[in-house]
Structure 1
């Protein structure tokens, strides 16, 4: 089992939005692979939304509701990407 200071931050939150951690020394275990797959999906979603953001901001006909919706989606994706980056920094020993 990993030491308490080596817990993996998971790419989802628990009740009340609190962070979830995984304690295992098996980086190829089911939960580790699940977390890796979810992180990959989150990063893919971020890349797609980044392209959409560029298109929306370049569109002179985009209304304020489009821009507001974009900002809300970007906020959620940024939160996910920050969590992935935090986890990857920890896994690489950059914490």
Structure 2
């Protein structure tokens, strides 16, 4: 969401578009989880899903980048470290 409280028409429109894009990505993730559990999924179905996930990820990255441009960067503790184990768990049946 915008950091100006969504005062302008353009800010409200941008917020609405971001919400739609992120919701679409969330729905696609649900479809992906279902399809990855199904041994009968056709290759063309997986290619189609992959293309839609690619688009949704691009949208999500643009949203994050846009928000990051508007917000100051948080400081990171010198003691904090990030390891590969800190990320989300892969979907069941998917190897990392």
Separation in 2 of the partners of 1:87 and 1:64? Answer: 34
Please list every run of 5 or more consecutive structure 2 residues that lacks an aligned counterpart in the other structure.
74-96
Higher relative contact order (CA 8 A, sep 6+): 2
Superposed CA RMSD: 2.1
Q: Which runs of 4+ in 1 moved over 6 A?
A: none
Post-superposition shift, 1:55? 0.6
Instruction: Report the TM-score, using the length of structure 1 for normalisation.
Output: 0.69
Q: 1:51 to 1:26 in 2, by over 3 A?
A: closer
Q: Greater share of strand residues, 1 or 2?
A: 1
Q: How many residues align?
A: 72
Instruction: Report the TM-score, using the length of structure 2 for normalisation.
Output: 0.68
Structure 1 residue corresponding to 2:63, chosen from 76, 79, 84? 84
